Every structure is written in C-alpha cells, then in structure tokens.
Structure 1
Amino acid sequence: MLQDYERKRLATLRQLNLLDTSPSESFDRITRMASKLFDLPIAAVSLTDQDRQWFKSRIGVEHIEIPRFKACCGEVADTADLLVVPDLLQSTQYQDSVLAESGVRFYAGAPLTTRDGYTLGSMCVLGNEPRQITEDERALLQDMAAMVMDQIELQHAFGRVDPVTGLPNRNQFIEDIEDLKRDKSGLRYALHVDLFDENQIRSLQRVVGLPSLDNLAREVADYLKQRLQNRERLYYIGGCEYLYLLDGNDEDINDKAQALWQLVSDVVLDESSPLLHTPVIGIAPFELSDAVGADIIRTVHSASQDARHTGEDVVLYSQQLDAEHRRRFTILHDFRQALDSDNQLYLHFQPRLNLSNNKCQSVEALIRWQHPTLGVISPAEFVPLVENTSLVREMTDWVLQRCIEQINLWHQQGCSLQIAMNISGSNLDEAGFAQRILSALQEAGIETRWFELELTESAIVSHSKQAMKQLQALADAGVSIAIDDFGTGYNTLTYLQEVPAHVVKIDRAFVFNLEQGPRNQAIVNAMVNMAQKLGYRVVAEGVESEQSCEYLRTIGCDEIQGYWYSKPSPANECCALATN
C-alpha cells in the first residue's frame, strides 16, 4: 500500500512539471514572507523527489537540492504532517544529517498536499539556533503551505478552466462547493446538461473527429454564457456535458430546468455536425452543509442518464433508481471475485420429464449466486448484466467445467443424465468457441450425446453467419442444440430453416395457463405439430399443473419441464429422479 502511494505521489509530482524548473517570483514571494514572519534566515518550498529534496524556491541557502535520506522534508512527505525539530543536534534521527552538518539547528515544515491526498513536499523555515514554535506559528506555517498549493494548482496541472470552452471545469466545481460550504448553508441544485447520447458522441468522433467535437462544445458554451445570468455558475465537465449550479426551491426548480432545456434545444449547431443534438437535463438537490462535489457530479449525471432511458427531457435525481444502478455496478464488480471463489457460485439442475416413458433423461443446468453481503442474487438479475460484458466468456467456462464434472460424477454413480447448458449469443461470436466446447468434452472423456447447448431465439437471430457456423460445427460433432423461449421472437419460421437445432423449448408464456381455455391449447398444439414435422424434439417449459401435463401428453409433446414435475434442485436430488 505504501509503495503504491509513493508511486502515485511521484507520478503526481512529475505531472505538475515543477522539478528542475526556473525560479518563480510567485513562489519566491511566499518564501520571503515566511522568512520575515518567522524571523528566520532560511525558508524554502521543498519538493520530495524519489531520492532528493529539490527546492522550487529558497532563501538563505545556496544549494538547490539535498539528499532525501535523513532530510526533514522527506519525513513531512512520508507522514503528511507538520514537523517541528527544535534542535537537530539533539535529534537522534537528524543530528548527522546534511542540514545539521551545514549548521542548521531548527526546522519546521508543513506538508504541501494535493486535493487527491498526495504530499509533494513541504513549506519549511529553518534557523541556525535552537528554537520552539507557538500554536499561532504552526497555524501560520500551514496557511503558507496552503498558499503554495494554491499557486501550484493555479499555474500547473490542476487547472480550473477548461481550455476548449473557457468555462470552469469539474475541479473548479468541486472547489466552489467547498468554498460555498464555508460561508453559506441551505439547499442548492445542480443541473447536468447532456447534449448527446453516448451513441451520438461515438458517431461524432468517428465522422467528424475530436476537433469538430471540441468546436461544438465551445459553440454551446458561448451560447449559454451569453444567455445565462449566473455565468460564474456554469461549468464544463467534458463530452459536451455542462453543469449549472442554482439556488432555488422545490416550486420553481423544475421550471428553471425546463427553461434551460428549451434554451439548449434551440441552439443552432455548426454545419459540421451531421447529427441533431438531443439534450436532456438531470437535477440533483443537495444541502451545502454535507455536500461533496464529486458525489454531486455523480448523482446529477445519474439523473440525466435516467432521462435518457425514460425518454423525458428533465428528470429529478431518484435515490431509488440510483441505488438500483449502484447495485448493478456492485454485482458486475463482484462477479469476477465470485468466479474465483469456492463458495459463491453453484449449479442447480431442473429435470425434464420424457412423456413417452415417464423418465427423467435430461436436466438443465442453472447457475446460482450466494453473494457474501447481498445474499442470494437471482440469475434473472445478474446473468443479463454479465452477458453484456467480457465476463460472459468466463461465466460460460465456469458453468461448462461444472457440468462436465457433474456428468462424470453421475456416470460413476450409474446415473445416465444429459445436461443442457445455457449459452449467450455473444459466446457464438468468440473465436474458437465451438472448438473450446468440443475440446473440453474430449479431454474429460465425455461423449457429445450427453451434452446439450441452449440459447434463445433472439440470441440466434441477432448474431452473425460466423455464429451459425459455430452452431453447425457443434451439431456435426453430436452436441444437441436447443432453441429456448421458442415462440417469443419475430423471425421464428425464418430461422427454423437455418439453425442446426435438435430441440425447441416452447416458452412458458404459452404453457402457463394451458388448462384455462381452448385458445391457448390450440396455439400450443400448432407449435408442437409444426416443430415436430420439421424434425425437432419439443419440450414444453413452465408446466405447473397435472392438467397441463396431461394435455401436452395427449397432443404428443415429447418432454415437459416445470415446477409441477420438479423445481431446480441440487445434483443428488436429480440423480434420484433419474434412477426411480
């Protein structure tokens, strides 16, 4: 942890471009003031490099750097605390230091700390005689260190003005919030203006390039500066996104936000933009007394994203929606750890009943997650999230290995069960996915007939010809392919002619109320007949009553799956069903 801090601290120091630069009057003015106020001959702005103390400004000392080893300023950088050494010769740590050998007896230094918490060095005063320091002098030295940091941030990397738009940036916003907290209290509102959605921004970058995007940001900034009254409260936070800070009350804030939205909507963009801007505004209320600038930016951005998703122009921040977004983030963040854990992820298996012999010959593997703090997370919640990330490959591989292990274990127990495993459409776009499946089965000594892959018809329809080739390779090798949620898509008849599948699983939406009327029965009957005439084996999902089961038996459906026969259960319970 300390090594990581030191690495980041040095990176911050170098980013500021202060080391080995020419003297600066703005810093020299501070050191001269420090020397006079403390009535001491030596004062310096000392920066702690990897192995040296380099003086950006100094008075009363000739050399511009000293070794970091046994340097008082080095201890200030390490501890981030004010350091006072009344007499270096009486200090076991510093009595043989470079400073002590040069005649220095007294040292006091206050840390130069960035807003990110990295201590760059110290504002220090030194004397040739032993000395004590009062509480007032401690406070004064710390104030002078703050003045040095203000000068550093003003002149260097931690700028407060966006160079493209000329507007204050997010760093200035965060600082302004802190300043407001010192002098004022009460309710404030942050408004986040998002000019384009993410897809439009990507299209703009690709079509017109970053310079044209900068021109658009500048154009809108100039337009808003001309029309808004509180110009000092408008900020640019990048990506054609703006922040507007307002006083107000619950009665008029929505009217003000709507007026701002209309103002932004009316802007006429440069002809170089091939897209229409689609602005949305998010509103986040906050109390100054406990406000944190970075949190305000996050919450107001969340509100504008809610506006995008709902199709509204202006949306007030919702704690509930934000909590849902943060939960989704937590789930994705923690899923990788779950994959590496031995006790979070596990499989349950839902049996299928063969209606011709009343035996269980196949089960569907279903992933489950017991999160250490969130408890049981439904696969309906986490699987769709994972499927939209690169983690989908690792999740599929995890399930594949557990299925292979279970097939082997069942066969050792004399239990002959085929396992059906769900895959995502994005798996089919992975190079070598089919070969990966076949190699894993071969290495485990499992015949392909004991393995089935399920994927939804929407996943099939939305993927490439390469995906179809992978399915064909798996089918040619003897792996059964099942189309899940059959009947819910728009291109059912079309893809039935193209997909190398063996099984169709009629979606539970058609089966759930099967016994309640002839209309539902007629639809299911037609689906079973059509699929079987095309050569598919038919499984009805969501069977929850004996009446539904018997109807499906009478129309010749091959298999059923649902709570009436068995809920998803641990592996040993499935094996018991298969041997009965």
Structure 2
Amino acid sequence: MTCHTEAARLDTLRKLDLLDTPPSEAFDRITRMAAQVFGLPIAAVSLTDSDRQWFKSRVGIEHWTIPRLRAPCATVADTAGFLVIPDLLDDPHFRDSHLARNGVRFYAGAPLTTRDGHALGAMCVLGTTPRQITQSERDALTDLAAMAMSQIELQHAMGRIDPISGLPNRNQYIDDMGDLEKDRPAGEARLAVLVHLANPEQLANAARVMGSSYVDRLVTEAVRSFRAEFGAAARMYHVAATQFIVVMAPELSLDDCRVRIERWLQSGDAWSTSRFVTSPAAGIAPFAVGRTDALDVLRTAQGAVHDAYAAGAPVAVYSPAEDAAWRRRFTLLTEFGNALAAHDQLRLVYQPRIDLANGACVGAEALLRWTHPELGGISPGEFMPIVEQTSMARPATAWIVDAALRQLRAWQDADIALTLSVNVAAPNLLEPDFALQIVTRLQAHGVTPDRLELEITESAAMGNQAAADRTLAALHAAGVRIAIDDFGTGYSSLAYLQSIPAHVVKIDQGFVRGIEADARKRALVAAMASLSHDLGYRVVAEGVETAEAAALVRAAGCDEAQGWLYARALEPAQFALWYREAAAH
C-alpha cells in the first residue's frame, strides 16, 4: 500500500467518525452472530488506525485496542483481501504478534471495504486452537463484513437522503445505477437528465443578497414541481447544491424527454419564486444499462448542461463530438505542463517585420510551436487559448520570454540588431510582479529593454483595467516596448486606447488579407492607421501576402508589414540566413 493510499484510507476512516465511539448493539449483534456461526470464542469488528487496532465491537476480548504492528487485521486493511491463518504459531510473521502471545492460534478476517475501495479493517473471528476454514464459512464471514459496512454507512452522517430536498443523494445514485443492471436487460437504452437550477454566477450573486435560505427554497420548489410533472416516470437524486440528476423510465424516448423537460423549464414562472434571477438548464445523457458507469453518466450529463448554457438554450443532449473536443482540451492542458518541463517539445520560430519605407527588417515576432511525441504538431491557436485560461499562463509566458531573450542575445552577439515581439496573455497583466520579472530576465540575458516588445490584445488590456494599467505603466517606465495586437477585433474604448502607454498598433490580418479587392478594408485600414498615428503609435499591418497588399497598406499609412510576402515563421538558423540575405539586397 502506497503512502498516498494509506493517507486516503486513514482520512476516510476518520471522516466516518467511528474511532473511540461508544458500543453499539447494532454492531454487537453482527459480532455475536459471527462467533456463533464459527463456534469460536472471539469475534470483532476491528478498525485499523495509524498505530493500533480499535474494536468497534468485540466478543471474548476484554480490551478495546491492540497494537497495529503484526496484527492480522492490519494485514487485511493493507491488502483489502480475505486473510486466514490456520495457526499463528506456525506463521513466521505472526508468531510473535500480540495475539499469539495471548493464546490466539486461529484467525480469519474479511475486509471492511468502502465503495471507494478503502479497507477500514476487518470483520474477524479468532480461536485458541488451530483450525481450517470451509468455503461456506468464508462466504458467511464475507457476508457478515458486508453487513457491518452497511451498518457503518447507515450510522454515518453521509446518509442516503438529502435533508433539504428529501431526495436520495449522490451515494445512493451510484449504488442504484450499479443495481440497475441486475433488474434491467443489459444494454437497455435509458436517459439521464441533469438539471442545474442556476449557473454558478447567478447562484453566488443571489445567495450573497438573499442568504442560504434562497438556495433551500429554490431546490424545494423545483423538486416539488418536477415530481408533479413526471411522477413515477423519473427517479430523482440530489447530487449537488442546486443540481439533481433524474433517471427516466425506459419507455420515454429522447424526443419526448426533451419536449417535456423544455416544457417544465419554461413553466418556471409558475413554480419558481426565483425565476427573475436564475436560468435553469438541463442536459440529457443517453446511456446503456450495464455498459456505462454511473459517474460517467453524470459526467456526460454535466457536459450537456454546459453545452446548453453555452448555446443559451434550456436543454442540450450529450454530444460525443463535443465531449471528444473537451477531452482533447483537457489532454492538451495536461500535456502542455509536461512539455514545459520536457525541454524538447516546445520551440520558438520567428516571422520578420519589415519597414515599408525602406524594406529593411526591423523586427520579428516570436511564435510558439509545440511538437508532441504522440500527438504531433499542435497549433498554438488550439492550445494557447486553453493555457491562457489556467494557472499555466504564467510559466508558459516565462518560458517564451526566456527563450526569446536567449535568442535575441545570440542574434545581438551575431550583429543582428532588431526588436523582438512576444505575445503576452491576459492573466500576465494581473500578476503584481510581472513587470519586475520581465526586467529581471532582461538583465539576466544582457538585453536592453528597448529590444523587447510585448504584444497585448485590446481585450486583455481592458479585462481588468486598473491592474493592467499598473503593469503596463511599470513596463513602460522600464523601457520595454508595448504593442497592441489584433487591433480592430477587440472591444476598443477610444478613451482607454489613448491612455495605454503603447508604442505600436498591429492591425489584425483579417483587415489586410483580401484588401486588394475590398475597398471597405482599404478604408478601414486607412482609418485605423490615421487614428493610431494621431495617438502616437507606429502601425504594423499583419497578414501581408502580396506585393499589391504591401503597396496598399503603405498607401493607407502603415509603417511596417508582416506576412508571407516576406517570409513565413522561420527557425532561428533560417531566420539568420534570411536576415543576412535580405540585408544584402
């Protein structure tokens, strides 16, 4: 048993609140029955603590506890398996145990196992003379252990009925789903419906104003109404504060289920006093009896609810395609953390930036590339939006900045003088020490601040304006250049844009590609360039792919251009070669 598993087992044992509790007749009946079935003088419900065996119930034993060391019940807890010792004195491991020294010769124990697989101890019988055990006795002791565990769960506060809704809880749902395959044909098509009575933000806001009684009232109203609508055709379980899952009757079709759920949700005006502050939604998860795990049904139904909220719809049906997409996102997020530590999956490539006045390369943008050993090349457009929404945004940006500055210093030493642009995620602007970290890295690599340009989007800069202002002001004061990336695609506030301490505006490629045949794009680019110049910014046009487009963006007032006309993103050695050839011409 690993330390992690042992810690989890002990945590489960303590949560059950059984240790050092008074005797219980409910347990004593089981213990007496065990002694009678085996015709032995000693029986116990033995719980394995960190350093002792404690008896919740015992027959033929005077004390309540013995040391865990070399105790057979501890072995049962460690292995979660049935243990028989015909003669303790013949067993080299147990012959010096506390039990053997006190005259015990025979031992048999069945594990007391929780539904999570943690063995809490043993239902055990002991004798003072050696003996064997028959298969029927083994089965009987296993059944008695199961009875003891049922009693443990029954007496514990983790009961099976939610006190607010009166519905069976999540534990009962899991057990009932397991029992369903015993009563219904294997593979029978069924439907589970998960109902969210409010989204998290609505719930937090309403509870903050109206208190916890608001949630109680919301739940009781919904349960009463749902029962009135569906009656015996649905088995309901309360699985979270404002969520319940419903297993529908087998005869209900998917179409009928969806129609009835939508009708019930739309009738919320009649049954919910919270109808103006909450938006309930439901997810339908089809499943096959005996072939789909209870928790997986719950997971897929949760996914369907999230799809409903995302679509602004009251009901959504589980989509395997959406589920696969979310699983891939989760896989990418997990694997990206490994990639940061692997040192051979991530790399930077560099796309030149050209001065439209003289054709010289004056800068480059560092672009992240990821080649996974099994998944292959993964587009940054797929993984970066996921990474930027998590705590990995900070280490990802740190990796990129370090790699970019390392390359910038190498080029600097090779007499390649340019400004290098690095994209910054929105969460980076909220880091109180972000500017300090950038300055520290510049100093470590021996690069002057004016050679580094950090690209931020309009939306990132405006997401938390006060925090972003402080970070951008600190970066500007340190001499780091700031560029506003993807200009024209965010929710620009002109009053705010004029206050950003930026140096460069990069017009999004969506306004540049196809500009040759689109007068509206030409007008928009010219207007954005004029506005940016008025605000004191230098203007870069992204996505320039033809000579005609380059001429048009130059005529519109753009100062620089970037795109496939000049070069695609290049590996460092390729970039150095391209730079020298371009400089020579």
TM-score by shorter chain over 0.5: yes
Aligned to 1:311: 312
CA offsets 1:20-55 (integer angstroms, 9 cap, x no match): 111111111111222222222222111111111111
Counterpart in the other structure of 1:106: 106
Instruction: Report the CA distance between 1:532 and its aligned residue.
Output: 3.3
Per-residue deviation at 1:484?
Answer: 1.3
Q: Pick which of 513-522 and 321-330 moved more.
A: 513-522
Aligned to 2:356: 355
- 1:554, distance to aligned residue in structure 2 (A): 4.6
Q: Take 1:476 and 1:241, find their aligned partners in 2: how far apart are those partners?
A: 50
AA partner of residue 105 (structure 1):
R
Distance 1:403 1:39 in 2: 78
Match of 1:246 among 242, 245, 248: 248
Following superposition, the deviation at residue 274 of structure 1 comes to 8.4
Question: Is 1:204–1:275's contact at 8 Å kept on the other side of the alignment?
Answer: no
For 1:74, give the aligned amino acid. A
Superposed CA offset, 1:194-216 (max 9, x none): 11112111212322233432332
Q: Deviations over 1:325-365 (max 9, x none)?
A: 12222222333332222122221111112222222120001
Size of the alignment, in residue pairs? 578
Which position in structure 2 is the counterpart of 1:531?
532
2: CA distance between counterparts of 1:95 and 1:457? Answer: 75
What is the aligned partner in structure 2 of residue 152 from structure 1?
152
SS at match of 1:538: strand
Q: Distance in 2 between matches of 1:32 and 1:477?
A: 79
Q: What is aligned with 1:26? A: 26
State the Cα distance separating 1:555 from its structure 2 match.
4.8
Structure 1 Cα separation of the partners of residues 260 and 518 of structure 2:
54
Q: Give, in whole Å, the separation in 1 of the partners of 2:292 and 2:102.
A: 49
Matching residue's letter, 1:217: V
| Cα-to-partner distance string for 1:473-493 (whole Å, 9 max, x where unaligned) | 433443222111122234364
Tell me by how many angstroms 1:234 deviates: 0.7
CA distance in 2, matches of 1:238, 1:404: 48
- Structure 2 contact 522–556 (Cα < 8 Å) conserved: no
The offset of 1:286, in angstroms, is 1.2
Distance across 1 between alignment mates of 2:573 and 2:261: 63
Counterpart Cα distance in 2 of 1:409 and 1:222: 70
In 1, Cα distance between the equivalents of 2:316 and 2:85?
57
Distance 1:389 1:132, change over 3 A: same
Distance apart, 1:227 and its partner CA? 4.7
How big is each residue's C-alpha offset from its partner over 1:372-423, in whole Å with a ceiling of 9 and x where there is no partner? Answer: 4333221112212222223222222221111211111111112112101111
Partner of 1:464: 465
Equivalent residue number for residue 191 of structure 1: 193
Pair 1:11 & 2:11 matched: yes
SS for the counterpart of 1:366 is strand
Moved more, 414-423 or 205-214: 205-214
C-alpha contact (below 8 Å) 1:191/1:257 kept by paired residues: no
Are the counterparts in 1 of residues 234 and 248 from structure 2 also a CA contact under 8 Å? no
RMSD: 2.2
The 5 Å alignment of 1:330-479 reads 330-479=331-480
Shift in alpha-carbon separation, 1:533–1:220, aligned structure 2, 3 A: closer
Worse overlay, 322-331 or 302-311: 322-331
| Aligned residue in 1 for 2:80 | 80
For the structure 1 residues 184 and 89, does the alpha-carbon distance in structure 2 shift closer, same or farther, using more than 3 Å as the test? same
CA distance in 1, matches of 2:202, 2:398: 35
Partner amino acid for 1:187?
A
CA contact (8 A) 1:187 1:247 kept: no
CA distance in 2, matches of 1:473, 1:68: 60
Shift of 1:466: 4.0
Which residue in the other structure is 1:120 paired with?
120
Give 1:497's aligned amino acid: Q
* Farther off after superposition, 111-120 or 337-346: 337-346
Instruction: Please name the residue that 2:573 is paired with.
Output: 572
Say whether the 8 Å CA contact 2:191–2:284 is kept in structure 1: yes
Distance 1:270 1:486, change over 3 A: closer
Deviations 1:535-558 (A, max 9, x none): 332211111122212333455532
Structure 1 residues 113 and 466 mapped into 2: Cα distance closer, same or farther (>3 Å)?
closer
Equivalent position amino acid for 2:424 in 1: I
- What pairs up with 1:246-285 in 2 under 5 angstroms? 246-248=248-250, 252-267=253-268, 268=270, 273=274, 275-285=276-286
Counterpart-to-counterpart distance in 2, 1:22 and 1:555: 86
Indicate how the Cα distance of structure 1 residues 464 and 492 shifts in structure 2: closer, same or farther if over 3 A, else same. Answer: closer
Contact 1:9/1:120 (CA < 8 Å) preserved in 2? Answer: yes
**Match of 1:219?**
221
Once the two structures are overlaid, the 10-residue window that deviates more, 97-106 or 183-192, is: 97-106
| Residue 154 of structure 2 corresponds to residue 168 of structure 1 | no
Give secondary structure in 2 for the equivalent of 1:399. helix
Q: Deviation digits for residues 94-148 of structure 1, max 9, x if unmatched?
A: 2232222322221111111111111000111122222111222212211111111
Instruction: State, as a whole percentage, how many aligned pairs show the same letter.
Output: 47
The 8 Å contact of residues 361 and 578 in structure 1, kept in 2 or not, is answered as no
Q: Could you say if the C-alpha distance between residues 547 and 2 of structure 1 is closer, same or farther in structure 2, counting changes exceeding 3 Å?
A: same
Listed as ranges, the gaps of 5+ residues in structure 1 are none
TM-score (normalizing by structure 1): 0.94
Does the 8 Å CA contact 2:462/2:468 hold for their aligned counterparts?
no
Query: How far 1:264 sits from its partner (Å)?
Result: 4.4
TM-score by length of structure 2 reads 0.93
Find the residue that maps to 1:213 and give its secondary structure: helix
| 2:39 aligned residue | 39
2: CA distance between counterparts of 1:194 and 1:377? 35
